[in-house]
Each structure stands twice: as structure tokens, then as C-alpha cells.
Amino acid sequence: MVPSPSTSAPAETCGPVLPGSVCAVKLRCVFLLKCVSRRVCVCVCPVSYVERGRQHRWRCAQVTFTCPTEASCQRWVAGIRELLAANASRPRRLLVYINPYGGKKQGKRIYEQKVAPLFARAGVSTHVIVTEYANHARDHLRTEAELKQFDGVVCVGGDGMFSEIIHGLIWRTQVDGSVDPGCPDETLSPCSLRVGIIPAGSTDCICFATVGTNDPVTSALHIIVGDSQAMDVCSIHHNNTFLRYSVSLLGYGFYGDVLTDSERKRWMGPARYDLSGLKMFLTHHYYEGTVSYLPARGILGTPRDGARCRSGCVVCQHNGQLLSEKAERYETENDGEWRTIRGKFLAINAASMSCACPRSPKGLSPAAHLADGTTDLILVRKCSRFNFLRHLLRHTSKDDQFDLTFVEVHRVRRFRFTPRHCQSDSDLELDLRENNKGQIFSQICTDHPACGCAPAYSSWNCDGEILTHTAIDVRVHCQLIKLFARGIEELESGLCVTVT
């Protein structure tokens, strides 16, 4: 038996090991290979690979192979290096943006201590930019970044920072492809560069909902092995003027108010959301307006079918293909099927993905899909505080979030919202008639901000950023971007099944 080398990992003999055995399974995940020493007639070769831990966490583990001769060791090293080089999905050069200001202000430390050493071991080279101001990364991507030099972009920060990155990338892709990014009816060109998220923000919903955890090491390993996950993007316009893109939560009412209030408490870090959440729950504001939507037709899946979007999701594959092949026909066929709902709402949420995060492990719409070309429009009508609490508690429990009389959900391709105070004269007249001499307007008191009446309108929380307008037109662009992720894996615990 060959003696173990002086590393903490157990030694395994390489010579007799054949492809298909346990070692070969691990070699599929290899990203580091280096011959470190030679003993008498023995070559020692540590190989790093990915090991799955609990709750979707990945860790880098190491196995040490020993070969009886230097020549056989070199053959193994060369063979594995060749396999790795032939794998085109693994990135070799990455453009990294770090937000030093997000979350608990740990972005730089997290990257330097947990991520950079892994990239170095895997032979991934990087160009790192620590942002100096908000929108630095977005503007750099739009105008300066030499994107041809890179295989992907990495974002170290929270959902707001990720939003900056995709705004830069999407805009740049459209301009390079002569597509007008400002037009709401334009078919946008998908971005070719994948984006990796190293979570270092306050909610980290986009990372959590695409990987299953907000762990920087896990995300770094998904980037290194070259995973790919397509993702829908919503474009948001106001009067045909482009406002923003959104990939996770677009929330008016409760979530808009929480965000507005929490920005003033940024010094508190992620805890600001808990305090603002409690405050806005107690405030219990409702808002009037009109929601119109184009239901998603002819696709697989409904918001209440209990089918979670998981790695290799068939719903996303099916709907993605359908929408890319028949996009034009589909849009035309559905024109004219707009539905309209007027009312008083505590919250209007559009979840383009589950929006799972540590605060809400199933998310706001547990059966929403990452890449099916739709968003789940959730309307929470005015109800008592007690009922609203029941609704909020369902974000954290196993009960059906939508099985409440004052909550409805629609899977849609497009929707519009007009707050009551922006409605046209004819709509207002209709409201007056429908609501018996305008009692519906009793809460509105914009002229008397000091009188303590409820405000007439809220703001939209768009992936953690406040929108400047309340009347919006939202359209889903199926699979516009790609992440270095593979969706949440559903594995039997302890099983390693990545051999493909």
C-alpha cells in the first residue's frame, strides 16, 4: 500500500482506478490539478472537486491520488487537464464587480477571503473592480468594459447590485445588436455573457432562488464549474419610456413602502427590513388603482400547481421553446385578452421567480419559474390587519399562500398598473358610479399631508430599487439573461449524482 501524503485528505491509489468508479465520479467535478511532490517511486497528486453539503451548499474537497511512477502520474495529470480544457462551459476570465457598500459592508472581504482563492486554484483569471458609487458597475458595463475579453461577469453584492449589472449588460447587448432598448414592444436580444452572483447583500433573493442558498463559496463553485441557468427579465415602462428591468420582485404597496422606509435606515444593515416591515404592517396602508393583465395562455404550469422550479425544469424548457419559436404569433393571438381589475390593494406583487430568500424560504410565489416567460401577479386586496398577518405568515409556512379570499394570483405575460390618482376622467367617472358617490376615495388626502390620512399612492419596489413612477407597463422577456447557476437541485441527501 502506498503511504499517505502529509495532507489532511485520505490517499487513494490511482493506478487501478478505472473510469466509472468512485474516483471517476469525482473527477467530473475537478477544477484543480497539480503535482506537488515526488517520493520514492510515488507521485502524489491532490485533486479538488465539489462535494455537496446540506441545504444546497457546495464545498471544495480534495482527494489525493498516488501513482507508482512519475510517468503514470503525468499521464493522469495531462488527461485530466485535457478534459478540463475541452470543457467550453467553464469560464477562464471573469470581470468582477464588488459593491463594498451593500449588506453588512463585507463584500470586499467575502470576495478576497472566500472567493478569490478558489478562482486562483481553478485557474480562473479575474479583472476586479470595487465600485466607488451607485451605478458605477452599470455605467462601466454600458460604455467601457471590453466584454469580448471575458467569459462572464461576477457581481459581489445584493439584489440591487445584481440589478445594476444586468442593466449594464442588457443595454449594451441591445445597442451592440442595434435593438432599441427603450421601446416596450421591442423583442430584446438575449445577453451572451453569464452573470455569477456572490451574495453579499441584505436579502440576496436572486442568489437564493437560483442556487438554494446564499453562500459565497457555493456560488463561487457554481461559477467555476461553468453552470448555466436562463432567467426571465421584465422590462418596465411608463408612457412608453423605459424605467427599469426586474427579475425577482416588483412590489407596490406593502413591499414598496417597506423599501422606501428601509432606505432611511440603511445604517442598520439587513435588519432595516425587519423594522420597516413591522412598521409598515402596523401602518396598514391600502392603495387604489387599476391592474390590467394579459394572462399566460398555452403554457405549462399554474401559480397554484405546487410544481417547484428545479434544476433542469421541464416547465421552463417547454415554455421557453414555445415562446422563442412562436413569440410573434403568441403575442398577436393573445392581444385583446386583457383583463382588468379595479380595487383597493394592500399589496400588488409580481414575482418573476419564487422570490425565495432566507426570510421566506419558499418565497412569495413558490411555484413561479425562473425561465418560463411569465410572472405571477399577486393581488392582496384591502383586508383586516389580522388577515394581512395571516397572508404574511404564509410566506414563512407551508400553507398555500393564495388560499385566502382576499388574495388572488394570475400567471401573466404582461401587466399594467394605474394608481387611482392617475386614472383618466372616464375611469374616474366609472369608479364613482360603481362605488356609490365616490366613497371609495375617502382615504385620499394628498393635499393635507399633515392630517394623518393615508397617502394616495405607494412606490414600486423593483428588485430592491424604488421606481420613479407608479403607473407602469410590465412585459416579461423570456430567458433574456443567463446565470452561473443550475437552479435549485432536488437530490436525495448525501447522494452525488453529477456524472453526465
Ligand X SMILES: Nc1ncnc2c1ncn2[C@@H]1O[C@H](COP(=O)(O)OP(=O)(O)O)[C@@H](O)[C@H]1O
Ligand Y SMILES: CCCCCCCCCCCCC/C=C/[C@@H](O)[C@H](COP(=O)(O)O)NC(=O)CCCCC
Residue 160 or 253: the one with the smaller Cβ distance to ligand Y is: 160
Which range binds ligand Y by CB under 6 A, 17-25, 43-51, 131-139, 252-260? Answer: 252-260
Contacting residue, 273, 345, 402, 415, with ligand Y by CB under 6 A: 273
Residues 6+ away with beta carbon under 8 Å from 465:
160, 163, 244, 259
Residues 6+ away with beta carbon under 8 Å from 152:
91, 94, 95, 193, 194, 195, 196, 223, 484
Best CA proximity match to 467, nearest among 188, 241, 220: 241
Which range binds ligand X by CB under 6 A, 33-41, 99-107, 415-423, 424-432? Answer: 99-107
**209 is a contact residue toward ligand Y (CB under 6 A):** no
Which of ligand Y, Ca ion, ligand X, none does residue 249 bind (CB under 5 to 8 Å by kind)? ligand Y
Best CA proximity match to 212, nearest among 93, 25, 357: 357
Which of ligand X, Ca ion, ligand Y, none does residue 352 bind (CB under 5 to 8 Å by kind)? Ca ion
**110 forms bridges with which residues in the sheet?**
none
The residues annotated with a catalytic role in the active site are 159
Site for ligand Y, residues 162 to 201, rule: CB under 6 A: 201
Contacting residue, 23, 63, 138, 204, with ligand Y by CB under 6 A: 204
Which of ligand Y, Ca ion, ligand X, none does residue 347 bind (CB under 5 to 8 Å by kind)? none
254-263 and 272-283 helices cross at what angle (nearest 10)? 130
**196 is a contact residue toward ligand X (CB under 6 A):** no
Cα gap 305→300, rounded to integer Å: 10
Best CA proximity match to 429, nearest among 438, 439, 418, 417: 438
Residue 308 or 369: the one with the smaller Cβ distance to Ca ion is: 369
* Nine cell digits for residue 470: 407608479
Cα gap 39→47, rounded to integer Å: 18
Return the beta strands (E) in 35-190 as ranges: 37-39, 42-52, 58-67, 93-98, 125-130, 152-157
**275 is a contact residue toward ligand Y (CB under 6 A):** no
Site for ligand Y, residues 441 to 470, rule: CB under 6 A: 461, 463-464
Binding mask 413-452 for ligand X (x = CB under 6 A): ----------------------------------------
Phi and psi at residue 253, to the nearest 5°: 85, -120
Residue 92 or 304: the one with the smaller Cβ distance to Ca ion is: 304
Site for ligand Y, residues 342 to 381, rule: CB under 6 A: 355, 357, 359-360, 364
Contacting residue, 133, 149, 267, 426, with ligand X by CB under 6 A: 133
Cα gap 401→284, rounded to integer Å: 19
* Nine cell digits for residue 346: 394592500
Residue 168 or 226: the one with the smaller Cβ distance to ligand X is: 168
Which range binds Ca ion by CB under 5 A, 15-23, 193-201, 372-380, 399-407? Answer: 372-380
Cα gap 471→419, rounded to integer Å: 6
- Least Cβ distance, residue 165 to ligand X (angstroms): 10
* Nine cell digits for residue 168: 449594464
Number of residues that bind ligand Y (CB under 6 A): 27
Residue 277 or 303: the one with the smaller Cβ distance to ligand Y is: 277
**245 is a contact residue toward ligand Y (CB under 6 A):** no
Best CA proximity match to 27, nearest among 50, 44, 6: 50
Residue 116 or 134: the one with the smaller Cβ distance to ligand X is: 134
* Nine cell digits for residue 35: 503535482
Cα gap 500→490, rounded to integer Å: 16
Residues forming contacts to ligand X in the complex (CB under 6 A) are 99-103, 131-136, 157-161, 164, 201-203, 464-465
Residues forming contacts to ligand Y in the complex (CB under 6 A) are 158-160, 201-205, 248-249, 255, 258-259, 273, 277, 355, 357, 359-360, 364, 392-393, 395-396, 461, 463-464
